[in-house]
């Protein structure tokens, strides 16, 4: 079992290196003052220091449920299990489905693939196209596996967003074979144009919908959740309890306090979307200008820009040179099951300044 390439890279680079590698949100956008105020409000209450129930505090689950219901996906607090980041949500699900087959997109999220491997899930990769997973390939794989892990909104790494048609087709296939969809949605709120309806909303009994506050508020709180049928939540709680009893109660109370002001949270989300859109546009423009041979789609949301060189370039080998010049990205092969070198690259555009974006892309050009 190998460690995540991205986490190893993040540990090895120095301050001077321009990193397009991690999935770091822009720290300048953390709503520090508002989180500080929320913390001050709960700080003197002894209950925030006590053990709490394993599925998460009622107030926070109610607020999360309310957001789903508002979007037309009826949900109560009993459909929600609070987890320590959505990373833990995936771990809990991988334990639940241990040793089974699972259909995934290729490329897919490295962190999920590592968890699946660790829990002996057999991954079957299906090609991801510009408008979502290849439907014929999906049906062929899902017929056997009856379990799928998809990231339909601004996917990590590819930034792909599923079309309405593909969302509909996926839900029909999941129903047809009475299977289960794990829909991972940490980037769904970071849309530049519009929010798409969750596939899980069409499959309330056959889905696990994963959410997180890491990309919308702060990753350090490590709070995510699973939305599922009440019976399924009860089964997952057994696994959750065996891992850590419950996620930090203190942090959950801060979040519940902060989220009371819905308008403030909405305003905050909009400020992230505005900032990231400008960054995404700038990154794409600079790439077109400096490395026109790198083909990519301008992102419509999320935190990543993905593409590929027109000619065959081993982007995994290229990283050695780039590290020496103090710039880093994630080579595309990392997001495939077999990790065979390819010409693809994932760039994170949210964490760097405009100057760093331009300088970093020029440094990569000089390594080609
Ligand atoms: N799913 C995807 C697709 C991600 O990109 C990430 C973070 N990079 C996670 C889950 C995990 O996020 P967290 O545990 O911080 O909620």
CA geometry: angle 86, 151, 265, nearest 5 deg: 55
Burial class (CB in 10 A: 0-12, 13-18, 19+), 192: middle
The residues pairing with 2 across neighbouring beta strands, listed in sequence order, are none
Q: Is the peptide bond before 107 cis (omega within 30 degrees of 0)?
A: yes
Domains and CATH numbers, the chain: 5-23+265-367 (3.90.1150.10), 46-260 (3.40.640.10)
Q: What is the pLDDT of residue 3?
A: 65
Q: What is the pLDDT of residue 272?
A: 98
Q: Give the length of the chain.
A: 368
CB atoms within 10 A of CB 248: 17
Ligand 1 centroid to Cα of residue 93, in Å, is 14
Contact 106, 79 (CB under 8 A): no
Contact 160, 128 (CB under 8 A): yes
Characterize 350-363 residue by residue with b for buried, 16 or more Cβ atoms within 10 angstroms of its Cβ, and e for exposed.
bbbeeeebbbbbeb
Return the closest-CA partner of residue 93 out of 105, 77, 111, 107.
Answer: 111
Q: Can you read off the two tokens belonging to residue 245?
A: 């009893």
Q: What is the pLDDT of residue 10?
A: 67
Ligand 1 centroid to Cα of residue 90, in Å, is 9
In angstroms, the CA 125 to CA 282 distance is 32
Ligand 1 centroid to Cα of residue 87, in Å, is 6
Looking from the CA of 94 toward its CB, the CA atoms found within 13 Å total 20
Q: Can you read off the two tokens belonging to residue 174?
A: 């999941």
pLDDT tens per residue across span 104-127: 999 999 999 999 999 999 999 999
In angstroms, the CA 240 to CA 349 distance is 34
CA dihedral 354, 271, 190, 79 (to 10 degrees): 150
Q: What is the pLDDT of residue 4?
A: 67
In angstroms, the CA 208 to CA 204 distance is 8
Return the closest-CA partner of residue 199 out of 159, 149, 125, 234.
Answer: 149
SS3 assignment, position 310: coil
Q: What is the pLDDT of residue 74?
A: 98
Residue nearest to atom 8 of ligand 1 (CA): 23
Q: What is the pLDDT of residue 331?
A: 95
Cβ neighbours of residue 313 closer than 8 Å, sequence gap 6 or more: 343, 368
Ligand 1 centroid to Cα of residue 15, in Å, is 24
In angstroms, the CA 352 to CA 326 distance is 14
pLDDT tens per residue across span 154-196: 999 999 999 999 999 999 999 999 999 999 999 999 999 999 9
For the CA of 222, the nearest atom of ligand 1: 15
Ligand 1 pocket, mutate which of 115, 186, 225 (most atoms under 8 A from CB): 186
Intervals of the chain under pLDDT 70 = 1-7, 10
Ligand 1 pocket, mutate which of 212, 227, 348, 351 (most atoms under 8 A from CB): 212
Q: What is the pLDDT of residue 14?
A: 83
Ligand 1 centroid to Cα of residue 2, in Å, is 18
Q: Where are the alpha helices (DSSP H) in the chain?
A: 5-12, 32-42, 58-70, 85-96, 110-118, 135-145, 164-176, 230-244, 249-259, 262-290, 315-324, 354-367
pTM: 0.96
């Amino acid at each position: 079992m190998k460690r995540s390439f991205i986490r190893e890279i993040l540990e090895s680079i120095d301050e001077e290196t321009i990193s397009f590698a991690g999935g770091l949100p822009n720290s300048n956008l953390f709503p520090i003052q508002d989180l500080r105020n929320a913390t001050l409000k709960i700080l003197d209450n002894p209950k925030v220091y006590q053990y709490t129930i394993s599925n998460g505090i009622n107030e926070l689950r109610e607020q999360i449920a309310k957001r789903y219901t508002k979007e037309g996906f009826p949900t109560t607090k009993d459909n929600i299990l609070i987890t320590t980041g959505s990373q833990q949500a995936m771990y809990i699900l991988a334990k639940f489905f241990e040793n089974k087959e699972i259909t995934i997109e290729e490329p897919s999220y490295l962190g999920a693939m590592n968890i699946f491997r660790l829990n002996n899930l057999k991954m079957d990769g299906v090609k991801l196209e510009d408008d979502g997973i290849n439907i014929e390939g999906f049906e062929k794989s899902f017929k056997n596996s009856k379990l799928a892990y998809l990231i339909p909104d601004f996917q990590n790494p590819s930034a792909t967003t599923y079309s309405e048609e593909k969302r509909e087709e996926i839900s029909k296939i999941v129903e047809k074979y009475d299977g289960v969809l794990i829909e991972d949605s940490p980037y769904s709120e970071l849309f530049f144009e519009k929010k798409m309806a969750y596939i899980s909303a069409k499959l309330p009994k056959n889905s696990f919908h994963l959410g997180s506050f890491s990309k919308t508020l702060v990753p350090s709180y490590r709070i995510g959740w699973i939305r599922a049928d009440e019976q399924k939540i009860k089964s997952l709680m057994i696994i959750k309890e065996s891992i850590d009893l419950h996620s930090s109660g203190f942090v959950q109370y801060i979040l519940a306090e902060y989220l009371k002001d819905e308008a403030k949270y909405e305003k905050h989300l909009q400020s992230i979307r505005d900032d990231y859109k400008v960054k995404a546009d700038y990154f794409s423009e600079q790439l077109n200008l400096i490395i026109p041979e790198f083909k990519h789609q301008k992102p419509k949301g999320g935190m990543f820009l993905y593409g590929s060189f027109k000619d065959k370039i081993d982007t995994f080998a290229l990283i050695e040179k780039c590290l020496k010049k103090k710039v880093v990205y994630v080579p595309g092969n990392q997001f495939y099951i077999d990790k065979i070198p390819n010409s693809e690259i994932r760039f994170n555009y949210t964490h760097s300044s405009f100057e760093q974006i331009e300088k970093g892309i020029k440094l990569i050009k000089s390594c080609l």
